[in-house]
Structure 1
Amino acid sequence: MEKRKQDALASLAKRCTNETPPFFKKLRTAGLVLAAIGTSIVAAPIALPAIAVTIGGYLILGGTVITAVSQTAVNEIDFEE
C-alpha cells in the first residue's frame, strides 16, 4: 500500500512539472483571476453585505480548484507511464 502512495505522488509531481497545454494555461489564468477577485471582495476594507462576502468565498474556492486542476493537465502523448 505504501508503494502505491509513493507511485501516485511521483506521478502527480511528474504531471505538475510537464508542459501544460495552451487551453489549460488560459483556464489556469482565468482561475487565478477569479481567486483574486474573490480575495479582494472578502478582504474589502468596507462593510459589505453577507451575500457579497459569501459570493467572494465561492469565487476563491472555484478559482483555486480550476487553477489546481488546470496545472495537472498534460497532453496524453507527452505523459506515458
Structure 2
Amino acid sequence: MKKIISRLQEPTPRFFRRIRNFGLLLTGISAVISTAVIPLPAVLITIAGYTALAGGIASAVSQTAVIKEEKP
C-alpha cells in the first residue's frame, strides 16, 4: 500500500497531467448534464454517464504515470 501512495505522490509527466485534467473536465461536464434540472433526452443522459466513466478512468490511470529518472 505504501508503494501505491508514494507512486501517486511522485511527479506526473506533462502529457499525463493534460490527460488527467481533460478527464476531470469530462467528468465535471457529464455531472452537470446528468443532474440538470430541465428534462433532457435519455440518449443525452446515457452519453453523459459513459463520459463520466471514461473521464474518471482516464484521470485515475494518468495520475499513476511517473517521471522515470535514469540512474547515473
* TM more than 0.5: yes
Q: What is the CA-CA distance between 1:66 and the residue it aligns to?
A: 0.5
Q: What is the CA-CA distance between 1:10 and the residue it aligns to?
A: 1.5
Question: d(CA) in 1 for partners of 2:3 and 2:51?
Answer: 29
Q: Structure 2 matches for 1:1-80, cutoff 5 A?
A: 9-77=1-69
Q: How many residues align?
A: 70
Q: TM-score, normalised by structure 1?
A: 0.81
Two-structure CA RMSD over aligned residues (Å): 1.2
Question: d(CA) in 1 for partners of 2:30 and 2:7?
Answer: 28
Partner of 1:4: none
**Larger Rg computed on CA atoms:** 1
**Identity percentage of aligned residues:** 41
Q: TM-score, normalised by structure 2?
A: 0.90
**1 or 2 for the larger relative contact order (CA 8 Å, sep ≥6)?**
2
Question: d(CA) in 2 for partners of 1:46 and 1:66?
Answer: 29
- The Cα offsets for residues 43-66 of structure 1, whole Å up to 9 and x where unpaired, read as 111001111100010111111111
Structure 1 residue identity aligned to 2:17 = K
